[in-house]
A and B are shown apart, each in its own frame.
Chain A
Amino acid sequence: MTRRAALLVAGLALVAGLISEHVRQVWTQPLWVPLTDLLIGWTLVGCGLIGAVTRPNQLAGRRIVFAGFLWIVAAPRQWFGDTGRTDDFLQLDAASFTLVGWSDAVLAFTAFAFAGHRPQRPRDRVMVVALVAAFAAQTLIRTVFSAPDLFGIDLLDRDTIMPWVAYVDLARVGALAIAGVLLCQRYLAATPPGRRLLGPVLLAGAASCLAPLYAAWYPLSQLGLISPVVEDVAVPGFWLSNALRMLVPIAMLFGILRQRRARGAVAAALASVGLRPSTVELERSLAEAFGDPSIRVLPWDPATGGYVDAAGRPAALPDAGDEQVATLVSGETGPTAALVHDRSLAEDPTIVAAGVTLLRLVLDNTRLSRDLRRQLDEVRESRARIVHAGDAERHRIERNLHDGVQQRLLALALRLRRAATAAQADPDASSALAGGAGKRSQARGCLDCPPRRHRARRYAPA
């Protein structure tokens, strides 16, 4: 939701609140009655809008806005002293009467669905269905009750229908009470990270469900089960209930914003883990970001075809009934890691997705670095092989020269020197000795050349 749209909705809520109070003739009551009505409605709309703007992907904000409008349209009626009512807006007033309390149903649904889009636990889904059924029954019976005002027809005698209105009211309040207990139970059953993540919204939802309990005195007294409550008791109860209702949207907004901070913490973790963190460092950063100290990162080991822990040992993923669940991370070539975390985190797919994104980035970076190192090693080995091959070839040439030309020349030189020595004693013998040996000057010339092996070494690779 854009800020402009939010401002528009806020302005609409302001106007709608004033009109509603006028239509429902609440202005005839003591001033604090319409003021608390408006304050609760506007707080719901305002907090919901803030949540919707700051967390556009989270439906909770928009649901709270919707609950706020339902409250504005049909806040539970509280009449004290002389009602001073007229028949100026009979139909509109009767219509609002049929919708009383639906805002509580929407807030309960918001809490049950938080932090996802719909309730996850089967019992929560059943509870939501039961709530809708109770509220639908209430709307139906109240429509029948208000038919003379709404449609000008008298479906049933009001004295006949009134007990049924009371029964359905009690059923509605009872369903809300059970829903409140379920939300409290969900909070108590959550792990510490889950309580941090979901606590504000769950408890606010529970408060929203339990607040209407105070209104049960009215149908009970109508049914003659209890005496009518005097104003000295009803007014403080009304204040207490309204104070509780006013806290509900604030607490829910707090829960929504806390989630936003958690996602911000994931972004901060991304900045803090560095380029190539170890698995332990990654786990520590994610644990801080998620507020879940039990978090584990299990990289995929292609060699064993399974996940391994930080020490490289095979690691098993949590079972279905464990308090921890595994979110699997896959890459282009298959699984890359598993993120094992508290089950409650899975209730907010966006925060887990942020963690998975972080994990994928880090793992991809690590894999790319590893590939780069491997390629560098291959280049080094290839270069070493080339150098080695060149070296071997140089030695082969050197050996050939040593074994061949050079040795023959050296032997020839020895023969010539021996011939020269012999010539001094016997010229004929020296001539025979030097026969076939070639000219002395040629041999000397060859011997004065740089050694052949030196020449061969010039061909060594750079």
Chain B
Amino acid sequence: MNERSGSSGEPRHRAAALARPWASRAVLLVDDHDGFRTEARALLELDGFDVVGEAADAAAAVDAAGRLHPGAILLDVGLPDADGLSIVEDLREQAPGVAIVIISGREEADFGGAIARAGADAFIAKRSLGPGVVRDLLARLDRP
């Protein structure tokens, strides 16, 4: 897991995240595939996001969410130790107000209503990821 902190020792996005979490550019990336995380991080940073942490499994994701308080979490479904959908509530407890975006190599229809039932905010198929996709999605979520 990689993390980046501000010079004060506190996550620099924390105040903004607590005030208006979705408006924060701090993103936690949760996926068990190193190569995908590398490319996704680069893409997000290209879009102006600050990838404050990465997690390769569910336990690390919940831990990182509690410590880093990201404004958004890109959460893969197929994690080695748990189904990503099953930790949505845990993540939200650790980081209240966080925007949780499910990412998967499968299509949203494959999950039926499981994504909404799990309490996630949005879904992006991995094959649809590209420049501006996450940014536009979070902007729509931020809209009242």
Interface residues, chain A, with chain B CB atoms under 8 Å away = 399, 402-403, 406-408, 410-415, 417-418, 421, 447, 451-454
Query: Known: A407-B105, A410-B105. Contact between A417 and B33, CB under 8 A?
Result: no
Measured between C-beta atoms, what is the minimum distance from A434 to chain B in Å?
Answer: 12
Closest to A406 in B: B105
A415–B129 alpha-carbon span in the complex (Å): 10
Q: Shortest 6 CB-CB distances between A and B: which pairs?
A: A414-B39, A407-B33, A411-B35, A417-B130, A421-B131, A411-B39
Q: Residue A453 contacts which of B35, B39, B105, B129 (CB distance < 8 angstroms)?
A: B105
Contact B36 A414 (CB under 8 A): yes
From B33, B42, B127, give the contact of A403 (CB < 8 A): B33
Residue of B nearest to A403 (CB): B33
What are 28 pairs between A and B in contact, CB < 8 Å? A399-B78, A402-B105, A403-B32, A406-B105, A407-B35, A407-B105, A408-B35, A410-B36, A410-B127, A410-B129, A411-B35, A411-B38, A413-B127, A414-B43, A414-B129, A417-B43, A417-B130, A418-B39, A418-B46, A418-B131, A421-B46, A447-B127, A451-B105, A451-B106, A453-B105, A453-B106, A454-B106, A454-B110
The smallest beta-carbon distance between A402 and chain B, in angstroms, is: 5
Contacts of A447 in B (CB 8 A): 127
Within 8 Å CB of A410, what residues of B? 36, 105, 126-127, 129
State in angstroms the CA–CA spacing of A424 and B130 once bound together: 14
Could you tell me which residues of chain B, from 115 to 144, have a CB within 8 Å of some CB in chain A?
A: 126-127, 129-131
Interface residues of B (CB under 8 A from A): 32-33, 35-36, 38-40, 42-43, 46, 78, 105-107, 110, 126-127, 129-131
Given the complex of chains A and B, what is the CA–CA distance between A446 and B40 in angstroms? 19
Identify whether the interface residues of B are mostly helix, strand, loop, or mixed. Answer: helix
- Smallest Cβ-Cβ distance to B107: which chain A residue: A451
Besides A403-B32, A421-B46, 18 new A-B residue pairs in contact (Cβ under 8 A), listed by A number: A402-B78, A403-B33, A406-B105, A407-B36, A411-B33, A411-B36, A413-B127, A413-B129, A414-B36, A414-B129, A414-B130, A415-B42, A417-B129, A418-B43, A418-B131, A451-B127, A454-B106, A454-B110
**A305 → chain B closest CB, angstroms:** 50
With both beta carbons as reference points, the residue of chain A lying nearest to B36 in the complex is identified as A411
| A399: chain B residues within 8 A (beta carbon) | 78
Contact status B39-A415, CB under 8 Å: yes
Residue of B nearest to A412 (CB): B39
| Pairwise interchain contact A418-B42, C-beta atoms closer than 8 A | yes
Q: CA of A403 to CA of B36 in the docked complex: distance in angstroms?
A: 10
Closest-CB distance, B67 to chain A (whole angstroms): 26
* A417 CA to B105 CA, complexed, in Å: 16
**Chain A, Cβ-Cβ closest to B40:** A414
